[in-house]
Amino acid sequence: MTLREHWESVYETKAPDEVSWFQPHLEKSLELVERAAGGDRAAAIADIGGGASTLVDDLVARGYGNLSVLDLSQRALDLARRRIFAPEGAVRWIRGDATRDQFPAHSIDVWHDRAVFHFLTREEDRRSYVRAALRALRPGGHIIVSTFGPEGPPRCSGLETVRYDADSLHGEFGAAFQLIESTQELHRTPWGSEQQFLYCLCKVGDAKDTLPLLRHALEEAPAFTPEALMESVRTARVVKSGVLPELCFLEFDGDLTDWLVAQGKAKPVDSWACFHTAMYEIELAGVRCGVVARTIGGPYAVLIAEQLAAAGVKRIVGITSAGRISPELPLPCVVVAGSAVRDEGTSLHYLGAGRAVECPAASLAGLASALAATGWPVRCGEVWTTDAPYRETVSQLSQWAKEGVLAVEMQAASLYAFGQARGVEVAVVCMVSNAVDHEGEQFDTGGVEAGAGLLEACAIWSRG
């Protein structure tokens, strides 16, 4: 017999007021649901495993008009639906399993479950239930779960149960849920025996509660500045002062810089006051350019970009290798990042949360056409910036491809947010050289000469 058949047969063989869990009115549940709804009669309230209970009747009677009752048993739902007198559209009846997603994401304000969760004896079912609840609840929403308490019965309705105290029940839900209140009730069955019930009311943390990254006072001045750090470097390493090039490249892979230095084309800049990097200087198309290598990832790239800007650099161009996302792109090719999806942390220190950030440099079309003059295939569009390339998944790659994202790299969103907040011109040029579905040679960017050609094209663009 399936679980559904079990519950259908319970409701076929017993009247709603003959089952052990029956109460004429779920007083404790009502009190907690009303508290969680905070007086909002339009709050979206879901009674999970509501069966044929009268909670929905009492909520309708109190004026709540956005109710859902979910249950495995159609028979239970029919019994309640036929009994209740509710305004059109006030109650949605959903036949389904609470361990599966049944509601649109973040659509529920109050999730109520009396005597359902304790039937989930398998850990994987409890995990799925919690995942479904967390997805359905809006941040800041509430969940009320009532189970048998530690002294409650080990079986009910012919099924095994798991008994909980407040800590163990809260432990099943985890840190995303903040326990607000727990209380016990001695329930009297229709035949007079007593059962210990536990009720827990929890609040779902909103993102700011659980993500320190969102707790930045963006308008407040920093306590530690790039100017102060560079002054320390000057003192500690006796660095002389000098004027830096107005255009500086951050060359993330570093092999191009190594080659330019080995060839004697790029010379060290001894006025660059930095604890972590060296700067080299090269003249390209008559433009004096700085090159700093291997500042890979958003935090390192922005750390150095801050120091460049503080030292007088006006324009920063990031040169990065990148993975292909759009299957339409030839390999290798160049993508000028017109915008970047902010799947990284650094940008949140500069801008409020958002999906993507635009490139803060002017005339990107000019940059794309200067790059195209080198013979590389060039596109301009959106890239996905990730902090964790070894956590890219196939489903993420296909989702971003569907959203029109061209390539994935590790710096653009961070640098663009920095550029927007600090008023610095920043552009990122991606050499797209690998793809999970690519059968040719991976990471082939056409050799260092081809890379040097891209630097020169950027210098031509910068010269205007």
Ligand X SMILES: C[S@@+](CC[C@H](N)C(=O)[O-])C[C@H]1O[C@@H](n2cnc3c(N)ncnc32)[C@H](O)[C@@H]1O
Per CB under 6 A, residues contacting ligand X are: 7, 21, 49-51, 53, 70-73, 76, 97-99, 114-116, 119
Percent of residues in the chain assigned helix, strand, coil, to nearest 5 = 35, 25, 40
Residue 27's identity, in one-letter code, is: E
Residue 77 or 427 having the CB closest to ligand X:
77
- Helix, coil or strand: residue 152: coil
Name the residue nearer to ligand X (CB basis): 99 or 386: 99
Q: How far is the CB of 141 from ligand X (least distance, A)?
A: 19
> What CA–CA distance (Å, rounded) separates 234 from 230?
6
- Which of 54/433 has CB closer to ligand X? 54
Q: How far is the CB of 219 from ligand X (least distance, A)?
A: 47
Tokens coding 288: 């004096």
Report the nearest approach of ligand X to the CB of residue 179 (Å): 21
> With respect to ligand X, which residue has the nearer C-beta, 73 or 385?
73
CB of 81 to ligand X, least distance (A): 14
Nearer to ligand X, 73 or 182 (CB): 73
Q: How far is the CB of 198 from ligand X (least distance, A)?
A: 13
Nearest distance from residue 125's CB to ligand X, in Å? 7
Q: Give least dist CB 69 to ligand X, A.
A: 9
Sign of torsion over alpha carbons 101, 105, 107, 109: positive
Please give the helix or strand (H or E) that residue 80 lies within, else none.
helix 74-83
Q: Of 353, 380, 407, which is closest to residue 461 (Cα–Cα)?
A: 380
CA dist., res. 270 & res. 259, Å (int): 19
Nearest to ligand X of 100, 215 (CB atom): 100
Rank residues 69 and 291 by Cβ distance to ligand X and give the closer one: 69
Q: Which residues of 87-110 are buried (b: 16+ CB within 10 A; e: fewer)?
A: eeeebebebebbbeebbeebebbb
Give min distance, CB of 1 to ligand X, in A: 13
Q: From the CB of 178, what's the least distance to ligand X, in Å? A: 24
Alpha-carbon separation of residue 31 from 26, 27, 36, 48, 188 (angstroms): 9, 6, 9, 17, 18
* Alpha-carbon dihedral angle through residues 295, 300, 301, 306, given to the nearest 10 degrees: -120
The DSSP symbol for 427 reads E
Smallest separation (angstroms) from ligand X to the CB of 41: 22
Nearer of residues 68 and 445 to ligand X, judged by Cβ: 68
Tell me if residue 419 falls in helix, strand or coil.
helix
Two tokens, residue 148: 């048998």
Distances (CA, A) of 281 to 154, 229, 358: 76, 22, 29
Nearer to ligand X, 24 or 264 (CB): 24
Given the complex with ligand X, which of 152 and 245 has the nearer CB atom? 152
Q: Residue 36 CB, nearest distance to ligand X (Å)?
A: 16
Distance CA 210, CA 254 (A): 37
Rounded-to-integer distance, Cα 424 and Cα 299, Å: 17
Q: Is the dihedral of CA 207, 210, 211, 212 positive or negative?
A: positive
Q: Which helix (H) or strand (E) holds 186?
A: strand 177-188
CB of 174 to ligand X, least distance (A): 19
Cβ distance to ligand X smaller for residue 51 or 338: 51
Q: Shortest CA distance to 429 belongs to which of 315, 338, 325?
A: 338
- Identify which of residues 143 and 248 has a Cβ nearer to ligand X in the complex: 143
Please, are residues 9 and 3 in contact by the beta-carbon 8 Å criterion? Answer: no
Phi/psi for 386 (5° steps) reads: -120, 150
